[in-house]
């Protein structure tokens, strides 16, 4: 869906997904493109249900929606508007802010914010591709806004750990983890999940203190210029597009 959406212009997208039925047909083609199979009994024959896009197994009578177990499951937003918001998020390299989604769709800002968070959670790395080769691990601080006990929003600085896979003198890929409290435990989990066990890890002093010995023997010092470039780009992206970031880890994922 990601690549297919990116290849469409706004006019082409509007034409292809202008109705809820068109969106359901697309989900059904993705879900049952290789043939229907009942999730409950595995039967391959079905009959159509009263609700558009639903299919009922002719053996066990289980009804399944085209939206079931997808990003759009149990969602109250009209499906065509949800598709349009997803399109806006996907085609924007820097991420489409919730305020812009609200302006484009006419939906409430909170609705757009919650949907955008749902999309970001679905796009979270699955840890299948850890950083490999030579990896620099550095720390930095990011200012976020959190409500205090009285409900007032207060700025707060949070420490993050950044893993940078080096390739050809530049950064090939990177992962970021908010560590805050329990830094040693979170740093250990981050290195174990996001960095290959055979990788050479170069850590700055702050990262070494965060890890508190819970990692393999680190290599040399990180490339300061490369780390500065990665950190600067991340900070600029966060603040230029999203302002004060409350749900920081969701954005960094």
Looking at the 3D structure of the chain, how many domains does it have? 2
Whether residue 128 lies inside any domain: the answer is no
- The pTM of this model reads 0.69
Whether residue 187 lies inside any domain: the answer is yes
Cβ(30)–Cβ(1) under 8 Å?
Answer: yes
Question: In terms of Cα–Cα distance, which of 89, 71, 64, 177 is closest to 127?
Answer: 177
Show pLDDT as tens, one digit a residue, over the chain (253 residues). Answer: 556 777 788 899 999 999 999 999 999 999 999 999 999 999 999 998 888 999 999 999 999 999 998 999 988 899 999 999 999 988 887 678 888 999 999 999 999 989 988 888 887 766 678 899 899 999 888 877 766 667 677 777 888 899 999 988 888 889 888 887 767 788 888 888 888 888 888 888 888 877 765 555 556 788 889 999 998 888 887 776 665 566 777 777 6
Same domain, 142 and 235: yes
Whether residue 153 lies inside any domain: the answer is yes
Please give the Cα distance from 182 to 185 (Å, whole number): 6
Whether residue 127 lies inside any domain: the answer is no
Domain extent, residue 146, equals 134-252
Same domain, 42 and 68: yes
Cβ(56)–Cβ(43) under 8 Å?
Answer: no
Same domain, 110 and 146: no
Whether residue 129 lies inside any domain: the answer is no
Question: In terms of Cα–Cα distance, which of 214, 196, 218, 211 is closest to 133?
Answer: 196
Whether residue 154 lies inside any domain: the answer is yes
Cβ(85)–Cβ(100) under 8 Å?
Answer: no
């Amino acid at each position: 869906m990601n690549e297919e959406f990116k290849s469409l212009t706004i006019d082409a997208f509007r034409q292809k997904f202008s109705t809820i039925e068109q969106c359901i047909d697309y989900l059904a083609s993705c879900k049952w493109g290789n043939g229907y199979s009942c999730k409950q009994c595995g039967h391959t024959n079905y009959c159509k249900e009263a609700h558009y896009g639903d299919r009922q197994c002719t053996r066990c009578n289980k009804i399944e929606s085209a939206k079931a177990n997808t990003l759009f499951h149990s969602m109250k937003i009209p499906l065509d508007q949800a598709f349009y918001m997803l399109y806006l998020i996907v085609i924007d390299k820097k991420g489409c802010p919730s305020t812009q989604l609200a302006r484009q769709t006419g939906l409430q800002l909170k609705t757009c914010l919650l949907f955008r968070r749902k999309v970001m959670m679905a796009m979270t790395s699955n840890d299948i591709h850890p950083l490999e080769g030579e990896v620099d691990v550095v720390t930095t601080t990011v200012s976020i806004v959190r409500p205090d006990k009285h409900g007032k929003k207060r700025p707060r600085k949070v420490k993050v750990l950044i893993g940078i896979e080096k390739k050809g003198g530049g950064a090939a890929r990177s992962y970021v983890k908010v560590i805050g409290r329990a830094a040693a435990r979170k740093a250990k989990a981050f290195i174990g999940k996001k960095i290959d066990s055979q990788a050479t890890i170069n850590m700055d002093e702050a990262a070494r203190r965060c890890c508190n010995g819970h990692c393999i023997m680190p290599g040399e010092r990180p490339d300061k210029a490369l780390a500065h470039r990665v950190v600067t780009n991340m900070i600029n992206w966060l603040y230029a597009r999203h302002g004060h970031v409350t749900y920081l880890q969701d954005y960094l994922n």
